[in-house]
Amino acid sequence: MMKVSSLSSKAPEFLSVYAGLELDAESASLVALGVDLGILWVNAGWERFAAANRGGDVLERFGKGTSYLDGISGAQREHYESVLRGALADDEPHESFYECSTPETFRLLKLRALPFPGRGLLLEHTTVEERPHDRTPELPDERRFTDSRGLVLQCGNCRRTQDPAARSWHWVASWVDRQPSNTTHGVCAVCLGYYYGERLRKR
């Protein structure tokens, strides 16, 4: 597992407004980004969250020195890039909700992006809902879920998998952590409308 220290002493200068405010004691996961959206600093809450959630993957995807966007795939990457650059350019905080579920637990998180124009952003990730799934898990039937291109399509947001024949989306719990090697990520209709609808309507 990649080790990322919380580096309080090396926090970027723009976080000096929080001096003495114990950002490491915060239960929220905090990540400071530079104007290029590279990760400059994370708090201890981020490491606790990563450790509690099969941390190796989270710490590798969102390690210090990498771009925050590198941990996000597909249409969501484009969405978050526009959100974060927009918050910086407009000097307006941004808030949104996103799903980050495990096979056993439905989890909804809130992202708050606080801009420090010309210097960077502080991102706060807070868990707002955590409960067992009320979805019925489906069997990982690769034949059923493989499309005519030979690919399995999973929603990068809610992690449901598309049944290509019915064009419907299903909760295949065992593919949340570990997907078949022919898996590609897209966005299901419900997530597309909810997260990207406003932007699509503007086009």
Indicate whether 75 belongs to the interface with Zn ion (CB under 5 A): no
Residue in the structure block whose two tokens are 């966007």: 69
d(CA 37, CA 56): 21
Indicate whether 191 belongs to the interface with Zn ion (CB under 5 A): yes
Binding range to Zn ion, per CB under 5 A, among 22-30, 79-87, 112-120, 155-163: 155-163
Judged by CB under 5 A, the number of residues near Zn ion is: 5
Residue whose C-alpha is closest to residue 147's, from 168, 172, 176, 178: 168
Indicate whether 153 belongs to the interface with Zn ion (CB under 5 A): no
Cβ-contact 69, 78 below 8 angstroms: no
Helix axes 74-90, 189-202, angle to 10 degrees: 40
Binding range to Zn ion, per CB under 5 A, among 34-42, 127-135, 143-151, 188-196: 188-196
Label residues 155-185 b or e (16+ Cβ within 10 Å = b): bbbbbbbbbbeeeebbbbbebbeebeeeeeb
Binding range to Zn ion, per CB under 5 A, among 34-42, 44-52, 103-111, 183-191: 183-191
Indicate whether 100 belongs to the interface with Zn ion (CB under 5 A): no
Binding range to Zn ion, per CB under 5 A, among 76-84, 107-115, 116-124, 184-192: 184-192
Indicate whether 188 belongs to the interface with Zn ion (CB under 5 A): yes
Cβ-contact 103, 73 below 8 angstroms: no
Indicate whether 155 belongs to the interface with Zn ion (CB under 5 A): yes
83 vs 114 by CB, closer to Zn ion? 83
The edge-to-edge listing of strands for the beta sheet with 39-42 is 39-42, 29-34, 120-132, 105-116, 94-99
158, 172, 173, 176: which one binds Zn ion (CB under 5 A): 158
State the residues that interact with Zn ion by CB under 5 A.
155, 157-158, 188, 191
